Amino acid sequence: MTRRRTKVLRPLDWAFPPQPIERELLHVAADEPADRPPLLFVHGMNHGAWTFAEHWMPAAADQGWDCWAVSLRGHGGSDGYDGLRRWKFRDYEHDVMQAIIEMPRPPVIVGHSMGAQVVRRVLQRYVAPAAVLIAPPGGRVGLGVMTRFARRQPATFTRALAARPVQLDDSDLFGPEMDAAAARRYCDRMTPEAPLAQYEVMVRPQPVGARSPVLVLGGGEDALVSVFDMVAAARLYGTRPHVFRGMGHDLMLEPRWREPLDLILDWAERTTKR
């Protein structure tokens, strides 16, 4: 099977470019500048750049990594809430590209959940020194996520099918070790997702392969993305996933958030060393 790793023709982007927008780009500068690429975090459904600012960005900056996180349009501190019904992955991809051009050098791109799917699109047009896919919803398509979502939250799922913006529940996002009050607090900060992007997460075939080295990881107790999904995604990049037993979907907010971060930083350090 011939797999295109590169997308040359983008007639839709040439004729109908994504709408310009004001977006939030959080930055935590490295404690002491080291000769390392910056890290760029891309959040998933309902989340925002803030989810990485909780623990990961300050901790990584402490270890000498320049950290950035972008809020996709209609999320976190970015504009675009009024256009929620129009936004698609193509717009999110544009948001990440616009964040990339603000970086002093090519970043290691870290995408979580739906953000991982957006990063996969970015990798088709941009050669990052390395990329990390956290809890990617499936290989080519997110049918597994769709089935699990439908079974766990039939009412919410039906609303998503009816093109209503929906929000995931704290029972879907966190593992058994998570403190219930913290989980509730995080969920209160989340915002509904763009309906077309919801469809794209579940049924749109995602790009395959990249010219950047890719790391895949996720939580063993993830209620939405199964280990099987992670294996399927990793296989498309010639690798295997690292699974953190006992952790849920939002690894960066869980009590043991330091373990996956350490893995990411170690791997990024080794992979991008010149």
Partner 1 sequence: MSDGTAGRYCVIGAGAAGLTAAKNLREHGFDVDVYELAEVVGGNWDINHPYSRVYESTHTISSPPFTQYPDFPMPDHWPDYPHHSQIGEYLRRYARHFGVYDVIQFSTRVERVEPVDGGRAWDVTVRTGDAAPRTLRYAGVVICNGHNWYPKLPSYEGEFTGQAMHSAEYKSPDVLRGKRVLVVGGGNTGCDIAVEAAQNATATFHSTRRGYWYAPKYNLGKPNDQVSDAVFMLRLPTRIVQRIFETTLKLTTGDLTRHGLPRPDHRILETHPISNSQLVYYVGHGDITPKRDVAYLDGDTVHFVDGSVEQVDLIVWATGYLMHFDFIDDRHLNWQDGRPHLYLNAFPPAYDNLFVIGLLQPDSGLFALMHWQAQVMARFLAAQRDGSPAADAFRRERDEHLEERQSGGFHYVYSTRHHLEIEHMDYMRTLDRVVKTLEAA
Quote the DSSP letter at residue 20.
P
State which of residues 2, 32, 82, 181 lies at the interface with partner 1 (CB under 8 A). 2
Residue number, 11 or 33, with CB nearest to partner 1? 11
State which of residues 36, 94, 120, 121 lies at the interface with partner 1 (CB under 8 A). 94
How is residue 117 written in tokens?
A: 């799917």
20-79 residues in contact with partner 1 (CB under 8 A) are 20-21
Residue number, 8 or 155, with CB nearest to partner 1? 8
Residue number, 128 or 247, with CB nearest to partner 1? 128
State which of residues 34, 58, 77, 127 lies at the interface with partner 1 (CB under 8 A). 127
**Residue 126 near partner 1 by CB under 8 A:** yes
Q: Which residues contact 44 (CB under 8 A, 6 or more apart)?
A: 111, 112, 113, 114, 115, 116, 135
Q: Which is it for strands 39-42 and 108-112: parallel, antiparallel or unpaired?
A: parallel
Q: Please say whether the beta carbons of 260 and 251 come within 8 A.
A: yes
Among residues 199, 182, 202, the alpha carbon closest in space to that of 250 is found at: 182
**Residue 238 near partner 1 by CB under 8 A:** no
179-198 residues in contact with partner 1 (CB under 8 A) are none
Count of helix runs (H) and strand runs (E) in the chain: 12, 7
Q: Which residues bind partner 1 (CB under 8 A)?
A: 2, 4-6, 8-17, 20-21, 94, 97-98, 100-101, 103-106, 125-127
